[in-house]
Structure 1
Amino acid sequence: MTAHANYSLRDEIRDYWSDRAETFDLQIGHEIFSEQERVAWHALLSRHLGPGAGRASLDLACGTGVISHLMHDLGFEVTGLDWSEAMLAKARAKAQKRGAAIRFIVRDAERTLEDKASYDVIVTRHLVWTLVDPKAAFAEWFSLLKPGGKLLVIDGDFVSRNWVRRLREVWEKLVAGRSGQVDDAGAYMMGRHRSILARVYFSGGARAEEIGRLLAETGFEQPVVDWKLGAIHRAQARQMSWPKALERATQHRFAICAKKQG
């Protein structure tokens, strides 16, 4: 990191995720590790967005392109946007390997510089909880949608420590024989994450009710919260220890679909 006076929180967030790009796809919940999970993601996207049919879609904070490729599978014309060159390098490599015609661009998801009313659908996964100014971001996304266009937010509260999370931490320390300690590099990254989290808008955890309220205030028609993510979580659980799987199933995770009036 740098101490330059013009180095903003947004810059910190970009650089943090850039430094995580190399190992990002190794984590369950980032990349997809089974056909069962892929089918579950396709079902969620189709349920809210309908068939692709060549419609223009924007995957905000696309990272290594996981959601971009799911959208491409469904027949959407896809643009993946991320502020991290390191993440986009991974995304482009996947697209080249698959022969997928996906447009990837380097931009800030809160200030996209894309043309107004140019997208039929916008999708974000695990972006909203990191936003510095969600009100400005939602207004930007609203402006990018065509009349009748839809925004799908897939996110959650990854901050609050419920009893299951505490149980998992105890199990890892006592039953699994782990000390709970990390190496210097891991501790450094954890410190950066905590510092960023303390300064974003949803520092206390992104909750569906608050996000829905902000979307409605932006001008979206009454947002609909979808809690039925169990098929995705069950597929992911097959790759996890039972305490992590239980924690995943009991976290405040959701999808919110909001429509711009046509």
Structure 2
Amino acid sequence: MTETHGKNYNLRDEIKAYWSARAEKFDLSPGHEIFSEDERKAWQALIEKHLGKGDGRPALDLASGTAVVSHMMDDAGFKVTGLDWSETMLALARSKARQRGRDITFRMADAENTMEPDEAYDVIVTRHLVWTLVDPVACFAEWMRVLKPGGKLLIVDGDFVNVGFAERLVKRLAAWAERIGLIKAEILHAPAELAGKHQEILSQVHFSGGARADDVAALLRQAGFASVIIDHDLKTIHRAQAKHLSFFKATARGLQHRYAICASKPG
């Protein structure tokens, strides 16, 4: 906790402030917004593979950000509610929904304490949220509470901390090529001054050592989830994203420990 903010300013407040600062340029980054029909179809295939057709079923998009996932769930036929803790993100999400004529509800709430009714949703979906959780055991119990019996949770996340030899090599080659002028410097979609804040937050969250799929799955089972499936087959999504990334960045992304996890609330 940063002392200059006073005793009432905690880690969750820091996370909220960090993502609010990232909001303006969030949709400029491949991997956040969808930049091609190929990627959209790949995401839709992943959603249908694990969650089936929407058919008007209520779905909760946690840490919905600018509503990229909310719109994909809406496309799949779900009745979507998006929760986010950043007013800035929510303002962008609501604007996007109005522009596209989408009937999606957005509310400000903490993904770790949703304040949603018991057994209200058939589906919960999250993307790149789990690595930020302060208390995943309590959080997963909260998600279990708001799911209907037989409801499903879909997590899309990754370990962005542990860097393997191949990924380190690719990043070193990229830095060398940039240094000698073979390639242009990457455009930073996150303000450079936030890099230190990102590391400060990361050092305090539960998965500070990296959110490995097996560890996340184990905690889901501990919370009572059943039929926990780890899916590493995200190649179609990554290939579509790669068309909008530099060669080195696309290669590094393909080497990362990224995954989807689907789990069910016992019926």
Counterpart in the other structure of 2:236: 231
CA distance in structure 2 between the partners assigned to 1:187 and 1:14 by the alignment: 18
Change (3 A) 1:57 1:163: same
Tell me the equivalent position of 1:205.
Answer: 210
Aligned-pair CA distance for 1:112: 0.4
Say which of 13, 20, 23 aligns to 1:21: 23
Cα distance, 1:182 vs structure 2: 11
| Alignment gaps of 5+ in structure 2 | none
The structure 1 residue matched to 2:80, chosen from 72, 78, 85, is: 78
Number of residues of Structure 1 aligned to a counterpart in Structure 2: 261
User: Is 1:218 paired with 2:220?
Assistant: no
Asked if residue 159 in structure 1 is aligned to residue 161 in structure 2, the reply is yes
**Counterparts of residues 119-134 of structure 1 (less than 5 Å):** 119-134=121-136
User: Paired residue for 1:61, among 60, 63, 80?
Assistant: 63
Residues in 2 aligned to 1:221 and 1:172: alpha-carbon distance in whole angstroms: 42
Question: Unpaired segments of 5 or more residues in structure 1?
Answer: none
Instruction: Tell me the C-alpha RMSD between the 2 structures.
Output: 1.9
Deviation at 1:171, TM superposition (A): 2.3
Percent identical among aligned pairs is 57
What's 2:141 paired with?
A: 139
- Contact kept? 2:128, 2:158, Cα under 8 Å: yes
Residues 172 and 178 in structure 1, CA contact (< 8 A), matched pair in contact too: no
Measure the CA separation in 2 of the matches of 1:55 and 1:49.
Answer: 11
CA contact (8 A) 2:225 2:263 kept: yes
Deviation, 1:187, is 4.2
SS at match of 1:222: strand
Letter in 1 for 2:239: R
Q: C-alpha distance in 2, partners of 1:181/1:92?
A: 30
- Distance change in 2, residues 1:181/1:118 (3 Å): closer
Q: Which amino acid aligns with 2:260?
A: A
- What amino acid maps onto 1:214 in structure 2? L
Report deviation, 1:178.
7.1
Which residue does the alignment assign to 1:93?
95
The one-letter amino acid paired with 1:220 is F
Q: State the shift of 1:225 in Å.
A: 0.5
User: Given that residues 164 and 246 in structure 1 are in contact (C-alpha distance below 8 angstroms), is that contact kept between their aligned partners in structure 2?
Assistant: no
2:8 to 3, 6, 31: 6
Query: Contact 1:57–1:119 at 8 Å: present in 2 too?
Result: yes
Residue 46 (structure 1) aligns with: 48
1:189 corresponds in structure 2 to 194
Q: Out of 37-46 and 186-195, give the one that drifted further.
A: 186-195
8 Å CA contact 2:84–2:107 kept in 1: the answer is: yes
Distance in 2 between the 1:178 and 1:53 partners? 54
Displaced runs of 4+ in structure 1, greater than 3 A? 178-183
After superposition, the Cα gap between the structure-2 partners of 1:101 and 1:162, relative to the gap in structure 1 and judged at 3 Å, is same
Match 2:109 to one of 89, 107, 110: 107
> CA–CA distance in 2 between the matches of 1:54 and 1:212?
28
Cα distance in 1 for residues equivalent to 2:180 and 2:47: 38
TM-score with structure 2 setting the length? 0.94
Aligned letter for 2:219? Answer: L
Aligned residue type for 2:166 = V
TM-score when normalising by structure 1: 0.96
Following superposition, the deviation at residue 175 of structure 1 comes to 1.1
Distance 1:166 1:99, change over 3 A: same
Alpha-carbon distance in structure 2 between the residues aligned to 1:111 and 1:218: 15
The Cα of 1:241 is off from its aligned counterpart by 1.2
In 2: Cα distance, 1:104 partner to 1:182 partner: 30
Aligned-residue offset at 1:168: 3.1
Q: Evaluate the alpha carbon distance shift between residue 203 and residue 82 of structure 1 in structure 2; reply closer, same or farther with a 3 A threshold.
A: same
Confirm whether residue 248 of structure 1 aligns to residue 227 of structure 2: no
Structure 2: how far apart are the matches of 1:69 and 1:182? Answer: 26
1:260 corresponds to which residue?
265
Measured in 1, the distance between the counterparts of 2:192 and 2:55 equals 46
Residue type matched to 1:79 in 2?
A: T
* Structure 2 counterpart SS, 1:192: helix
